[in-house]
Amino acid sequence: MALAYADLIAVYPEFTTSSGDAQTRINTAIGVAEAVVYSGVLRTSSLTTTARLALAAHLTSLYSRGCNEEYNGTGAMTGRTRGDRSVSYESPPTYLEEGILKSTLYGVQYLLLMRGGRHRRPLVGM
């Protein structure tokens, strides 16, 4: 079952909006979340749906505040030095880096679901 704006609003009513553009951004975030959290990665389809909605809410929250403006990057640094001049830069963060996920409560919920809801392998040889 494909998720949509109404599904996200049912769980996270704070994202309710009458703006068609905002609803389109939410549906885009849901599409991204469905592509990232694939079926079968979590123990139940209910956990999968919850993780997808949490990730979509996280992405929507980031979109609404200007994406990465509050991110204090922790990505890999790289640079170059010539003589007494030096330039360094940071690779752009992605929305699934743990630091960014921890920047919203929705991202934290997603992390907890992904860490705790995965299938467990049985212990062998005990």
Q: Is residue 96 part of a domain?
A: yes
User: According to the model, what pLDDT value does residue 70 have?
Assistant: 40
- The tens digit of pLDDT for each residue in 95-118 reads 567 788 888 999 999 999 988 866
Q: Please, which contacts does 59-67 make with residues 24 or more away whose CB atoms are closer than 8 Å?
A: 59/29, 59/32, 59/33, 59/95, 60/8, 60/15, 60/25, 60/26, 60/29, 61/104, 61/106, 62/95, 62/100, 62/103, 62/104, 63/25, 63/29, 64/22
Q: Does the predicted TM-score (pTM) go above 0.95?
A: no
Range of 81's domain?
A: 5-116
Q: Is residue 30 part of a domain?
A: yes
Mean pLDDT, residues 63-76 taken together = 53
Q: Is residue 42 part of a domain?
A: yes
Asked if pLDDT for residue 77 goes beyond 50, the answer is no
Q: Is residue 37 part of a domain?
A: yes
- The tens digit of pLDDT for each residue in 3-38 reads 999 999 999 999 999 999 999 999 999 999 999 998
Mean pLDDT, residues 51-71 taken together = 79
Structurally, how many domains does the chain consist of? 1
